[in-house]
């Protein structure tokens, strides 16, 4: 009797254990839905897709966008690779995977980039976001603006690292597009994603997917990701014989099975892709710069700081330039071009330029005050500055009335008729690069930029490349034409 009475209990326990093993454990292992996409990176053609537009948790694939925005900020002079950054308590407290940053410590930007790209460090990603936009929330908003500009139509970012958060979602298609942009838009940084190890400043870090990098011929990146909600994700790229394939997998069951699936998809891509195809580079988005919180004043505006608005020149003339106006004392590197930002700077620049001007002209008839004598040995203390219309004839008269003094006149493009507008085509890390961009842009848009003056202005964070001496209409037209060619452009109104 005793033995028989225990039999049902045993069978009940066995049944419960079986249910646990067959239902509960497998559900946790396959909780994340599967999605995949394979793309020919050269043309952008999709070679295979499954659930590619389903919005899923991207996990640390998010860091591809974090790094994309950081590369953009460095390229445009917002920050440098060697800028020392102080680590916040918030960044230091992020859960693993992490570099081990301590609150209050400082570290150079380049080391945080390596840690985020190679080790997928969450604390490094948060620190990068705070360094660029001041807070992770503001950085997430910039990530979303950038994603939209890249054509990632079904992606929403809530943080810089990719840890699970409600509404933080993307798709296999969008992440593949992002991986393609990383390769084409920032080739100088792309090698980061193929480094098996890297010096991250405070320690050496190892790539989270070095197995695929070592085992799959031609693999050179890009990014892994894992959370319980996401499963094992990976966006991978490989190149063989001039062909480049990018594949993305969401919802892998394990690192090994995910890698095997990605290898299978890359093989499929190399089989299906044509041997020769015209390279169709994706268009690089227009640089928007830093845009903080603040009210917009019309439908063409985006926030631009407390009480200020940055307006996009593609829609209308800019009321507030993204770039601050020149202040007295800031260095000017120009091609014999006076700053037309304000009267004080105009006088400073013109006085400096006066030493190199040797043209002599007859003073205006209405001028009644005493003027400097002709051909002075030194620059006169009271030099008279005269604005001359570009269409006026400024050729010195051959004959001067006897006894009449001769005045040295400094000429500049007249601001009458509204020729005090300008455009900015970016901020660059060196004077040379800014000058190179100005020349290239002038050649690319000769019709609207003809007659404008190229000027490089040194700032604390880089060198602004400006065209000055334009009318409002010509500046607006030039900006719209340049932006249509995917060239950065903002209008500058010195009177704003």
Q: What is the pLDDT of residues 154-202, one digit of tens each?
A: 999 999 999 999 999 999 999 999 999 999 999 999 999 999 999 999 9
Q: Which residues contact 42 (CB under 8 A, 6 or more apart)?
A: 243, 244, 273, 277, 278, 279, 280
Q: What is the pLDDT of residue 442?
A: 87
CA separation for the pair 347, 353 (Å, rounded): 10
Alpha helices in 201-342 (DSSP H): 210-215, 255-272
Tell me the per-residue pLDDT of 11-62, one tens digit each, with 9 for 90 and over: 555 455 544 444 444 444 445 799 999 999 999 999 999 999 999 999 999 9
E runs forming strands in 21-138: 35-40, 46-50, 84-86, 106-108
For residue 341, what is the DSSP state?
S
Strand positions, DSSP E, 312-452: 332-334, 360-361, 407-408, 421-428
Rounded Cα distance between 332 and 351, Å, is 14
pTM metric for this prediction:
0.58
Dihedrals phi, psi of 163, to nearest 5 degrees: -60, 150
Find the length of the chain.
Answer: 496
Whether 361 shows a pLDDT value over 50: the answer reads no
Rounded CA-CA distance 462/78 in Å is 7
Residue 203 to residues 111, 197, 211, 425, Cα–Cα distance (Å): 10, 11, 21, 39
**Could you give the CA distance from residue 212 to residue 204 in angstroms, rounded to a whole number?**
20
pLDDT attached to residue 293: 43
pLDDT digits (tens, 9 = 90+) for 257-300: 999 999 999 999 999 999 999 999 999 998 877 754 433 333 33
Q: What residues act catalytically?
A: 60, 63, 120
Helices (H), 2-121: 2-19, 25-29, 62-75, 89-92, 109-114
The closest alpha carbon to 225, from 46, 91, 77, 97, belongs to 97
Percent of the chain with pLDDT over 70: 67
Q: 221 by DSSP, 3-state: which?
A: strand
Alpha-carbon 424 to chain mean position? 16
Gap between the Cα atoms of 155 and 153, Å rounded:
6
The answer to whether 423 touches 478, Cβ cutoff 8 Å, is yes
**Mind listing the pLDDT tens digit for each residue in 51-95?**
999 999 999 999 999 999 999 999 999 999 999 999 999 999 999
Q: What's residue 199's pLDDT?
A: 96
- Sorted by sequence, the CB contacts under 8 Å of residue 392 that are 6+ apart come out as none
Tell me, what DSSP letter sits at residue 20?
A: I
* pLDDT higher than threshold 50 for residue 227: yes
> Is 494 within 8 Å of 440 (Cβ atoms)?
no
Instruction: State the alpha helices, DSSP H only, in 165-244.
Output: 172-185, 187-190, 210-215
How many Cβ atoms are within 10 Å of 320's Cβ, its own excluded? Answer: 19
pLDDT at 10: 53
> What pLDDT sits at residue 460?
84
Alpha carbon distance 107, 136 (integer Å)? 18
Joined together, the tokens standing for residue 202 give 């405070």
Looking at residue 450, its pLDDT comes to: 84
């Amino acid at each position: 009797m005793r033995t028989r009475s225990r039999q049902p209990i045993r069978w009940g326990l066995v049944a419960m254990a079986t249910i646990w093993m067959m239902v509960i454990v497998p559900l946790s292992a396959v909780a994340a839905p599967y999605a995949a996409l394979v793309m020919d990176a050269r043309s952008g053609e999709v070679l295979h897709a499954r659930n590619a537009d389903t919005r899923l948790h991207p996990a640390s694939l998010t860091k591809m966008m974090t790094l994309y925005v950081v590369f953009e900020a460095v390229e445009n002079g917002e920050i440098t690779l060697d800028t020392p950054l102080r680590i916040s308590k918030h960044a230091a407290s992020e859960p693993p995977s992490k570099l081990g940053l301590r609150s209050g410590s400082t570290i150079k930007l380049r080391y945080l980039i390596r840690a985020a790209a190679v080790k997928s460090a969450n604390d490094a990603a948060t620190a990068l976001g705070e360094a660029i936009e001041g807070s992770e929330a503001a950085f997430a908003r910039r990530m979303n603006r950038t994603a939209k500009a890249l054509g990632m139509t079904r992606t929403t970012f809530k943080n810089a690292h990719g840890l699970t958060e409600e509404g933080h979602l993307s798709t296999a298609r969008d992440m593949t597009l992002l991986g393609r942009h990383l390769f084409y838009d920032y080739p100088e940084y792309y090698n980061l994603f193929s480094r098996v190890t890297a010096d991250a400043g405070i320690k050496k870090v190892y790539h989270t997917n070095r197995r695929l990098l070592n085992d799959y011929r031609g693999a050179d990146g890009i990014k892994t990701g894992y959370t319980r909600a996401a499963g094992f994700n990976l966006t991978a790229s490989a190149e063989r014989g001039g062909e480049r394939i990018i594949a993305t997998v969401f919802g892998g069951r394990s690192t090994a099975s995910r890698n095997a699936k990605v290898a299978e998809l890359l093989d499929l891509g190399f089989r299906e892709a044509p041997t020769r195809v015209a390279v169709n580079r994706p268009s690089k988005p227009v640089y928007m710069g830093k845009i903080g919180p603040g009210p917009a004043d019309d439908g063409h505006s985006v926030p631009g700081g407390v009480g200020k608005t940055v307006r996009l020149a593609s829609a209308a003339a800019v009321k507030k330039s993204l770039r601050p106006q020149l202040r007295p004392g800031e260095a000017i590197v120009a091609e014999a071009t006076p700053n037309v930002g304000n009267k004080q700077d105009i006088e400073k620049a013109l006085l400096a330029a006066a030493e190199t001007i040797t043209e002599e002209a007859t003073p205006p008839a209405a001028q009644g005050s005493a003027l400097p004598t002709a051909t002075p040995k030194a620059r006169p203390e009271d030099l008279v500055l005269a604005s001359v219309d570009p269409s006026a004839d400024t050729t010195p008269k051959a004959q001067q009335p006897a006894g009449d003094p001769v005045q040295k006149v400094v000429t500049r493009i007249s601001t009458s008729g509204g020729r005090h507008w300008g455009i900015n085509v970016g901020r660059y890390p060196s004077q040379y690069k800014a000058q190179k961009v100005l020349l290239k842009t002038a050649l690319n848009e000769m019709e609207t930029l003809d007659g404008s003056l190229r000027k490089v202005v040194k700032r604390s964070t880089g060198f602004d490349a400006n065209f000055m001496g334009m009318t409002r209409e010509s500046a607006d037209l030039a900006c719209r034409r340049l932006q249509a060619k995917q060239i950065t452009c903002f209008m500058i109104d010195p009177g704003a």
